[in-house]
């Protein structure tokens, strides 16, 4: 273990020193502007209105500025540039691809466009102005929204919005942070850029994350049948290999050995508020009418599976509730809630993750070949008076799965050649952790600040990942 710690320290020092040796990176950008709506340059007005104006792409938040002989201007959600030397008129006005600066593009084939975003995608002229998708559909738990990142714009829909209105993420404000006028909106991009959501379109049709819970694992390959699988708060979903666009449920309740009783004869009818599910000749289970309606509204018995027993009473924080389990999930009736919100799923997914998945941590062998470490600075550039947030993710590579309760060390290289060291908090159930770095007040404009994170785990070869962010102080 002493050898491991020594290697860890040496590795971090060498990485930080090598990053510090890099020269400053100067990104083009506007000069700081006061708060408030700024006038839109004449060159952009037609395109601005064509794309829906302030209601869609937000107000202009910067003055015009020059970049590589082009005239550019930020709105809250995009960056537009005008090239007067372009030979073809349609090539003179472009939307700059900020997406890859906001989120790392997904490798491999181009991701599919979420069904709920297709109408907006086409309305904004598709690939020409929105660009290609660079991420799968994601769920952002912090902001309770479905998201998808494209090259030039980002789309989202709030879970609590019954109308399903599609809005744009604030790409412009995110990239131009600190140097543009900013009014703020729910489109703000924060540290949590979401977790990829398996079969998002199919899942949304039967209730989505609002019913089945938000994802608490990455999408991984099942060791059972090789299908793509994901753990949500209340269920485990998968897509059959022969039909990857369809969502199915694993028999989670059966796997967790919930109450299982043999079917019996019918004793109650609709008069007593019961529906009888026959499963073996005349034998079956009684299902409360409220549960039957919930099942019918959210994919039917194909999604719920068969009952495992008749309803029973469960104690939830001192409150007695009616509960019934089916093969794939359990339902609960809370009479203290308002009508329409009284039936909900029990968080079996969280229980499954704790009991089944995290047990692998005790036997998992940490090494750069078995462990994936992701590290990024939440803000690509900040002023010397602003704090920075470093976010990490720790995952098992095969099958892909988050690893919780992992400690790590963050080392930040400072302009004077010294270093600041931080002990990051343990990773959560999603394998995530973050640390706020204080403002680096002595950093000059254009300084590149290097950093490195190393996991504090038993391994002969340190598991580290480095990065950098820019100090941008335009006077």
Lowest mean pLDDT among 39-53, 231-245, 342-356: 342-356
Give the pLDDT mean for 322-327: 95
Instruction: Sort 313 into a burial class: Cβ within 10 Å, 0-12 / 13-18 / 19+.
Output: exposed
Give the pLDDT mean for 172-195: 73
Higher pLDDT, 338 or 430: 338
pLDDT, tens digit, 9 for 90 and up, residues 375-391: 989 888 899 999 999 99
Q: Structural domains in the chain?
A: 2-27+364-471 (2.60.40.1930), 42-97 (no CATH), 101-250 (no CATH), 255-358 (no CATH)
pLDDT, tens digit, 9 for 90 and up, residues 250-269: 999 998 888 899 999 999 99
Contact 93, 47 (CB under 8 A): yes
Closest CA to 440 of 465, 416, 423, 467: 416
pLDDT, tens digit, 9 for 90 and up, residues 422-467: 999 988 777 889 999 999 998 998 899 999 999 998 888 899 999 9
Task: Determine the Cα–Cα distance for residues 162 and 139; give it in Å rounded to an integer.
Answer: 17
Give the pLDDT mean for 353-362: 54
Confidence of residue 13 (pLDDT cuts 50, 70, 90): very low
Find out whether the peptide bond into 399 is cis, omega within 30 degrees of 0. yes
Contacts of 332 (CB under 8 A, 6+ apart): 314, 316, 321, 322, 323, 343, 344, 345, 346
Task: Quote the pLDDT of residue 3.
Answer: 39
pLDDT tops 70 at residue 230: yes
pLDDT tops 50 at residue 315: yes
Lowest mean pLDDT among 141-155, 177-191, 395-409: 177-191
């Amino acid at each position: 273990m002493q050898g491991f710690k020594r290697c860890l320290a040496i590795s971090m020092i060498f990485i930080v020193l090598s990053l510090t040796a890099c020269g400053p990176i100067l990104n083009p950008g506007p000069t700081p502007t006061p708060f408030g709506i700024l006038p839109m340059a004449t060159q952009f007005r037609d395109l601005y209105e064509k794309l829906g104006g302030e209601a869609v792409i937000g107000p202009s938040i910067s003055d015009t500025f020059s970049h590589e002989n082009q005239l550019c201007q930020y709105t809250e959600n995009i960056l537009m540039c005008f090239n007067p030397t372009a030979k073809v008129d349609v090539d003179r006005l472009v939307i700059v691809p900020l997406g890859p600066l906001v989120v790392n593009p997904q490798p491999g084939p181009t991701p599919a466009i979420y069904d709920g975003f297709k109408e907006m995608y086409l309305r904004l002229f598709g690939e020409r102005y929105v660009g290609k998708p660079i991420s799968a559909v994601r769920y952002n738990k912090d902001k309770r929204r479905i998201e998808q990142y494209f090259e030039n714009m980002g789309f989202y829909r709030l879970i609590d919005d019954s109308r399903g209105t599609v809005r744009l993420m604030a790409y412009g404000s995110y990239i131009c942070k600190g140097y543009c006028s900013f009014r703020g909106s729910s489109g703000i991009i924060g540290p949590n850029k979401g977790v990829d959501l398996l079969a998002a379109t199919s899942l949304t049709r039967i209730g989505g994350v609002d019913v089945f819970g938000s994802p608490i694992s990455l999408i991984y390959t099942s060791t059972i049948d090789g299908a793509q699988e994901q753990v949500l708060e209340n269920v485990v979903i998968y897509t059959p290999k022969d039909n990857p666009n369809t969502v199915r449920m694993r028999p989670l309740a059966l796997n967790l050995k919930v109450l299982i009783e043999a079917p019996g004869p019918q004793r109650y009818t609709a008069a007593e508020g019961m529906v009888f599910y026959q499963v073996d000749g005349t034998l079956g289970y009684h299902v409360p009418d409220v549960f039957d309606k919930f099942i019918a509204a959210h994919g039917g018995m194909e999604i719920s599976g068969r009952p495992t027993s008749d309803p029973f009473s469960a104690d939830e924080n001192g409150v007695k509730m009616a509960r019934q389990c089916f093969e794939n999930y359990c339902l609960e009736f809370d009479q203290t809630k308002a009508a329409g919100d009284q039936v909900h799923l029990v968080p079996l997914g969280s229980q499954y993750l704790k009991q089944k998945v995290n047990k692998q941590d005790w036997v998992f062998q940490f090494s750069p070949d078995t462990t994936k470490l992701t590290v990024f600075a939440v803000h690509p550039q900040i002023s010397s008076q602003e704090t920075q947030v470093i976010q990490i993710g720790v995952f098992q590579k095969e099958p892909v799965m988050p690893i919780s309760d992992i400690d790590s060390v963050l080392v930040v290289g400072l302009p004077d050649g010294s270093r600041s060291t931080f002990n990051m908090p343990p990773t959560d159930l999603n394998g995530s952790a973050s640390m706020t770095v204080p403002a680096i007040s002595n950093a000059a404009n254009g300084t590149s600040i290097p950093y490195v994170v190393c996991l504090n785990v038993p391994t002969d070869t340190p598991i580290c990942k480095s990065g950098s962010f820019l100090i941008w102080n335009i006077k």
